[in-house]
């Protein structure tokens, strides 16, 4: 299915709503029936037939179909946040006594899911350096059920060789779950590489406008059905019809946003990499990135999130640089229209985050949709003031 069809037409049955081009926001908690037979019929398949909005809603269903198609998955579920999607995926595959082998340094709240939450329910985990897939195999125990991947991660961008980890999982009868937020389905489709469950923070590139928090989960029909009937309906971490509509709107421009962000990021990276006040840039498509070959092999393109180390004399210099930027906003998250920085020095005093161990002079940067010339000029003046 070509992406233009997915983004512009798939799932949109316009004859059902006055032939409106843009789908309606069905802002209704429940749905009514002509008679008992119709009600009974709908209750048989709450996921696909409107009954109660925690289970299914027509606006959300359009989004589900598009997300599944984008990830080349049989089906998808939409959640109220990326973290809800990660948690549902993990909980669905684990029970007390099980063990997870996870790539080290996953997204902060995925980390807390394993260290604080799953531990309480008797699920243990081992963090491994995923740059060598053999580490997954070495950490597997008789009770290992899930291999968790995040390739690349969203701070230092280490990759895992996805097909190699899938092969290990299959040999040991384990399920693979990957957080694919960084690359987005536009640049990487792990299901095609054999991964069982793909999750995203759709808050990032999929929505792309910094105005909604959303998560998605993509998998086979059978796994989606199982998660729907358990974690999805029980924990109830759903998206509102209004936010689903925002996602549908954001998705229309996914390809042009991804292309533009990638192109601009490559230019900004090139500028920073050759600047004397920058020690080093971490960006998977930089030829000096340790896993450059794998990145090229596994991803059709590179997203626009990367990190760099400032050649700064002290913390005050880092702060001067960050405070001097005008176009790069100081904020968490990424994937929207606006360029952002998240300097790791802010983590050092926050009780919400563990120290990253990445050094006070590291800055994570997200390049959005502004003109790259404007962004580079902004960086030039801020580096000057550092
Ligand atoms: C933001 C993010 C999440 C969490 O998603 P939310 O939508 O914020 O709940 C998970 N994984 C990665 C890689 C992220 O960047």
pLDDT digits (tens, 9 = 90+) for 146-180: 999 999 999 999 999 999 999 999 999 999 999 99
Say what the pLDDT of residue 356 is. 53
Cα angle 28-32-34, degrees, rounded to a multiple of 5: 155
pLDDT of the residue at 350 = 57
What is the 101 CA–ligand 1 centroid distance (Å)? Answer: 20
How many angstroms is it from 375 CA to the middle of ligand 1? 25
Other Cβ atoms within 10 Å of 123 Cβ, number: 23
Residue nearest atom 7 of ligand 1, based on CA coordinates = 82
- According to DSSP, the residues that pair with 76 across neighbouring strands are 218
Distance CA 268, CA 274 (A): 10
Q: Domains plus CATH for the chain?
A: 3-251 (3.40.640.10), 255-384 (3.90.1150.10)
Q: Residues 6 or more apart from 314 whose CB is under 8 A from it? A: none
Angstrom distance (rounded) from CA 338 to CA 320: 21
In percent, the amount of the chain with pLDDT more than 90 equals 94
pLDDT category at 351 given cuts 50, 70, 90 is low
For ligand 1, what atom is nearest to the CA of residue 153?
13
180, two tokens: 């694919």
| CA distances, 112 to each of 2, 119, 120, 317 (Å) | 38, 10, 11, 32
Residues with CB under 6 A from ligand 1: 81-83, 107, 154, 179, 181, 201, 203-204, 213, 215
**Residue 196, phi then psi, degrees to nearest 5:** -80, -45
In this prediction, residues 367-383 reach a mean pLDDT of 98
Round to whole Å and give the CA distance between 130 and 114: 17
* Atom number in ligand 1 closest to CA 203: 7
Is pTM beyond 0.75 here? yes
| Mean pLDDT across 201-230 | 98
Cβ atoms < 10 Å from Cβ of 370: 16
Task: Calculate ∠ Cα 298-338-213, nearest 5°.
Answer: 75
Token match 């100081």: residue?
A: 330
CA of 274 to the centre of ligand 1 (A): 31
Predicted local distance difference test score (pLDDT) of residue 313: 86
The helix, strand and coil proportions of the chain, stated in percent and rounded to the nearest 5, come to: 40, 15, 40
Residue 353 has pLDDT above 60, yes or no: no
In this prediction, residues 79-100 reach a mean pLDDT of 98
What's the rounded Cα separation, in Å, for the pair 171 and 116? 29
pLDDT tens by residue, 266-315:
999 999 999 999 999 999 999 999 999 999 999 999 999 999 999 998 88
Nearest atom in ligand 1 to 182's CA: 13
Spell out a b/e string for 300-322, using b for 16 or more CB atoms within 10 Å of the CB, else e: ebbbbbbbbbbebeeeebbbebb
More confident residue, 168 or 347: 168
The alpha carbon of 60 and the centre of ligand 1 are apart by a number of angstroms equal to 20
């Amino acid at each position: 299915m070509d992406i233009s069809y997915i983004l512009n037409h798939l799932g949109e049955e316009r004859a059902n709503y006055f032939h409106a081009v843009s789908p309606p926001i069905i802002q209704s908690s429940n749905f009514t029936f002509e008679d008992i037979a119709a009600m009974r019929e709908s209750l048989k398949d709450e996921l696909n037939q409107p009954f109660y909005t925690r289970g299914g809603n027509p606006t959300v269903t359009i989004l589900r179909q598009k997300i599944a198609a984008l990830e080349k998955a049989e089906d998808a579920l939409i959640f109220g946040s990326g973290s809800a999607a990660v948690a549902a995926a993990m909980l669905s595959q684990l029970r007390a006594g099980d063990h997870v082998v996870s790539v080290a340094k996953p997204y902060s709240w995925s980390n807390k899911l394993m260290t604080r939450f799953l531990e309480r329910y008797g699920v243990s985990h081992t963090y491994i350096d995923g740059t060598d897939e053999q580490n997954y195999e070495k950490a597997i125990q008789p009770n290992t059920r899930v291999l968790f991947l995040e390739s690349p991660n969203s701070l230092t961008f280490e990759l895992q060789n996805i097909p190699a980890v899938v092969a290990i999982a299959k040999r040991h009868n384990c399920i693979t779950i990957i957080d694919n937020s960084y690359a987005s389905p536009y640049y990487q489709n792990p299901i095609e590489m054999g991964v069982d469950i793909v999750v995203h923070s759709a808050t990032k590139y999929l929505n792309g406008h910094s105005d909604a928090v959303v998560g998605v989960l993509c998998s086979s029909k059978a796994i989606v059905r199982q998660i729907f009937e358990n974690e999805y309906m029980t924990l109830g971490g759903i998206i509102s019809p209004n936010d689903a509509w925002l996602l549908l709107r954001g998705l229309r421009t996914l390809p042009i946003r991804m292309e533009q962000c990638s192109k601009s990021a490559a230019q900004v990276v090139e500028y920073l990499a050759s600047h004397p006040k920058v020690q080093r840039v971490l960006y998977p498509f930089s030829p000096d990135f340790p896993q450059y070959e794998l990145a090229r092999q596994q991803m059709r393109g590179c997203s626009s999130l990367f990190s760099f180390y400032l050649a700064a004399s002290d913390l005050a210099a880092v702060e001067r640089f960050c405070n001097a930027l005008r176009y790069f906003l100081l904020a968490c998250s990424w994937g929207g229209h606006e360029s952002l920085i998240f300097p790791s020095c802010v983590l050092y005093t926050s009780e919400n985050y563990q120290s990253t161990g990445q050094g006070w002079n590291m800055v994570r940067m997200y390049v959005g949709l502004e003109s790259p010339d404007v962004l580079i000029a902004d960086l030039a003046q801020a580096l000057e003031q550092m």
